[in-house]
Amino acid sequence: MPEVKGPRRMGVPFRFAMAHVMGFTSVRNMRFDGRFQSDHETQAMKLPALLLALMASAAMADTPADEAQAMGERLAACAACHGPQGEGMPGSAYYPHLAGKPAGYLFTQLQGFRDGRRHYPQMVYLMRNWDDAWLAQIARHYASLPFVETRHATPPAQHIRDRDHAQALVEHGDASRDLPACASCHGPALNGIEPGVPALAGLPVDYLVAQLGGWMTGARHSIAPDCMSAVVHALQPGEIRLLAGYIATQVPAAGSRPAPAGTWELPRACGGTQALDSAHGVEP
Ligand code: HEC
Ligand code: HEC
User: Ligand 2 centroid vs 140 CA: distance in angstroms?
Assistant: 20
Q: Give the span between the Cα atoms of 181 and 150, in whole angstroms.
A: 26
- CA of 265, nearest ligand number: 2
Output the average pLDDT for the chain: 79
What are the pLDDT digits (tens) for 28-69? 333 333 333 333 343 344 555 555 544 544 444 567 778 888
- The C-alpha angle with vertex 38 and arms to 36 and 42, in degrees rounded to 5, equals 90
User: Ligand 2 centroid vs 125 CA: distance in angstroms?
Assistant: 24
- The confidence score (pLDDT) of residue 57 equals 44
- The confidence score (pLDDT) of residue 41 equals 40
Q: Does 169 contact ligand 1 (Cβ within 6 A)?
A: no
**Mean local confidence (pLDDT), 178-183:** 98
- The confidence score (pLDDT) of residue 43 equals 39
**Following CA atoms 249, 250, 251, 255 in sequence, which dihedral angle do they give, to the nearest 10 degrees?**
-170
Q: Does 99 contact ligand 1 (Cβ within 6 A)?
A: no
Residue 179, helix vs strand vs coil: strand
Residue 5, helix vs strand vs coil: coil
Q: What are all long-range contacts of 278-284, with beta carbons under 8 Å and residues at least 24 apart?
A: 280/104, 280/107, 280/108, 280/132, 280/136, 281/132, 282/107, 282/132, 282/133, 282/136, 283/133
Does pLDDT of 267 surpass 80?
A: yes
- Contacts (Cβ under 8 Å, ≥6 apart) of 270: 185, 196, 197, 222, 225, 226, 227, 228
- The confidence score (pLDDT) of residue 71 equals 87
pLDDT above 70 covers what percent of the chain? Answer: 75
Q: Which carries the bigger pLDDT value, residue 253 or residue 169? A: 169
User: Ligand 2 centroid vs 67 CA: distance in angstroms?
Assistant: 31
Q: Give the span between the Cα atoms of 205 and 228, in whole angstroms.
A: 18
Q: Which of 23-27, 57-61, 220-224, 236-240 has the lowest mean pLDDT?
A: 23-27
- The confidence score (pLDDT) of residue 178 equals 96
- Please report the atom of ligand 2 found closest to the CA of residue 203: 26
Is 89 within 8 Å of 150 (Cβ atoms)? yes
User: Ligand 1 centroid vs 102 CA: distance in angstroms?
Assistant: 15
What are the pLDDT digits (tens) for 82-127? 999 998 888 888 999 999 999 999 999 999 999 999 999 999 999 9
Q: What is the full DSSP assignment across 17-71?
A: HHHHHHT-S-GGG-EESSSEE-HHHHHHHHHHHHHHHHHHHPPPP-SHHHHHHHH
What is this structure's pTM?
0.81
**CATH number assigned to the domain with residue range 86-284, chosen from the 4 options 3.90.700.10, 1.25.40.10, 1.10.760.10, 3.40.190.10:** 1.10.760.10
Domain boundaries in the chain?
A: 7-37, 86-284
Count of residues in the chain: 284
Q: Give the span between the Cα atoms of 212 and 239, in whole angstroms.
A: 10
pLDDT above 90 covers what percent of the chain? Answer: 58
Task: Report the nearest-CA residue for atom 27 of ligand 2.
Answer: 211
